[in-house]
Amino acid sequence: MTADPGARGRSRQRTIAALGIIQILAWGSSYYLLAVLAGPIARDTGWPYSWVIAGVSLGLLLAGAVSIRVGRTIEEYGGRRVLAASALLLAAGLVVMAVAPGVPIYLAAWLLLGAGMGAGLYDAAFSTLGRLFGAQARISITQLTLWGGFASTMCWPLSAWLVEAVGWRGACLAYAGLHLTVTLPLALFAIPREARQQPLPRPAYAAALSREAPANRTLMVWLLAAILTVAGVIAAIWSVHLITILQAGGVGLASAVALGALVGPAQVGARVLEMALGGRHHPIWTLVVAALLIAAGLALLWAGGGLLAVALIAYGAGNGIWSIARGTLPLSLFGPSGYAVLMGRLAMPSLFAQALAPWVGAVLLSRLGAHAAIGLLAVLAAVNVAGVASLLLLVHGGQRSTANSRPYQASGTPDARPRPGARAPSERG
């Protein structure tokens, strides 16, 4: 008997909604936590502000260290148990932070949070969707980023209210409670259970991932990793130092906050537009547009003048669809076989770079000034545009070289991955 397509669609939407709630709480209680709590923590404890901020860098370093193992586990078992482990790790880290008597225990809490971040943020969620839906996961990944876009919008006000009501330690305990009562049950009961998939031996694994000649595939992976890493550096410096940069340019605090608030809606708006297009284009074009928008936003910010709002909207829109391309492009280029492992490998250098980027940004601002620092970020963004253009040439070159061949996956079934400009069979009207 054929399964009801409507029931399958409802099941998929329930899975995406569950993952979306998990993403909002995971991002809000880890990556975005110190945006609100860092000041109260430093004032209440007397710990150096730099050491308080160092916690998130330590967490990102560990997230990068575990990313490959996370990818392999999702590839073999699916994402259900990994996301459940993330909820437990995040809850444990927040409890340890809440009771930390000094900096060493506080930093130990961030080690737990880092492991939870590595097992529960976008890369793990994208890998879970790839494992569940295979080559048809593109629209699901896009929909999930819409949920994730509300993480700071929802959790920053919640964190501020909790700090006022119960203090920063109480806020940590409240988030820990939300992980145990909301995200953990969602991971266990709303994410489908999957049968174990035996890991492929290395030659078969390479064949499963390889759509082009091996050397070409290796070059594409390295180039994609470099592009994502540079973008991660830009995003990390931007997110931490944006208000400082705007104020250094003569913008008042209230105006800087108001301008910064444009980034979030621009991200969500661009993601809605990408979703409305319904996969009518290859994800490489999403990456091209994202890179151009980010570069344009930074260039306009460097130029100054009366275009600050346009600069921030351009950057926000580019960053919004960049996160979609980060999940959908590897799936489209290399297929669902080994996708989770590949996502872990791509995440590792990016997370390491993001861990160091806020400190690098602080050095640039203190030694070069805001204008020169933004200029350097604009140069990095231009380098990324060149990298994306190179990747685009490789993708099209690979398509031409395989136009008359029939690449096969390790299972022996024809590879049905969409070509640039083509729509996946499941996405055709």
Through-space distance between the first and last CA atoms of the chain, rounded to whole angstroms = 24
Residue 389 has pLDDT above 80, yes or no: yes
CA distance 235 to 238: 5
Share of the chain above pLDDT 70, in %: 85
User: How many angstroms separate the most distant Cα atoms in the chain?
Assistant: 69
Contact criterion met (CB below 8 Å) for 173 and 94: yes
Q: What are phi and psi of 408, to 5 degrees?
A: -120, 150
- Render the burial of 403-424: b for 16+ CB within 10 Å, e for the rest: eeeeeebbeeeebebbebebbb
Residue 328 amino acid letter: T
Please tell me the predicted confidence (pLDDT) of residue 4. 54
Query: Where in the sequence of the chain do the CATH 1.20.1250.20 domains occur?
Result: 8-199, 201-403+415-422
pLDDT band with cut points at 50, 70 and 90 for residue 201: low
Please tell me the predicted confidence (pLDDT) of residue 200. 55
Mean pLDDT of all residues in 128-144: 84
Which segments of 132-239 are extended strands (E)?
none
Residue 422 has pLDDT above 70, yes or no: no
Q: Which of 112-126, 324-338, 360-374, 401-415 has the lowest mean pLDDT?
A: 401-415
Q: Which of 113-122, 277-286, 313-322 has the lowest mean pLDDT?
A: 277-286
Q: Which of 74-78, 208-212, 350-354 has the lowest mean pLDDT?
A: 208-212
pLDDT tens-digit map of 394-420: 877 655 544 433 333 333 333 333 434
CATH number for 8-199 (one of 3.40.50.10860, 1.25.40.20, 3.30.200.20, 1.20.1250.20): it is: 1.20.1250.20
3-state SS of 285-340 is HHHHHHHHHHHHHHHHHHHCCCCHHHHHHHHHHHHHHHHHHHHHHHHHHHCCCCHH
From 92, 83, 10, select the one nearest 59 (Cα to Cα).
92
Q: Which of 17-26, 76-85, 208-217, 384-393 has the lowest mean pLDDT?
A: 208-217
Please tell me the predicted confidence (pLDDT) of residue 242. 74
The sign one gets for the Cα dihedral 260, 261, 266, 271 is positive
pLDDT band with cut points at 50, 70 and 90 for residue 8: low
Residue 388 has pLDDT above 80, yes or no: yes
Residue 191 has pLDDT above 60, yes or no: yes
Q: Please list, in sequence order, all residues whose beta carbon lies within 8 angstroms of the beta carbon of residue 327, skipping any fewer than 6 positions away.
A: 122, 123, 126, 129, 130, 141, 145, 343
Q: Domain 201-403+415-422 is in which class?
A: mainly alpha
pLDDT tens-digit map of 293-309: 988 888 888 887 778 88
From 116, 122, 150, 144, select the one nearest 30 (Cα to Cα).
116
Residue 173 has pLDDT above 70, yes or no: yes
Average of per-residue pLDDT values in the chain: 80
Mean pLDDT of all residues in 212-239: 78
CA dihedral 218, 221, 223, 228 (to 10 degrees): -170
From 280, 347, 292, select the one nearest 321 (Cα to Cα).
292
Please tell me the predicted confidence (pLDDT) of residue 214. 44
**pTM for this entry:** 0.77
From 235, 395, 342, 374, select the one nearest 387 (Cα to Cα).
395
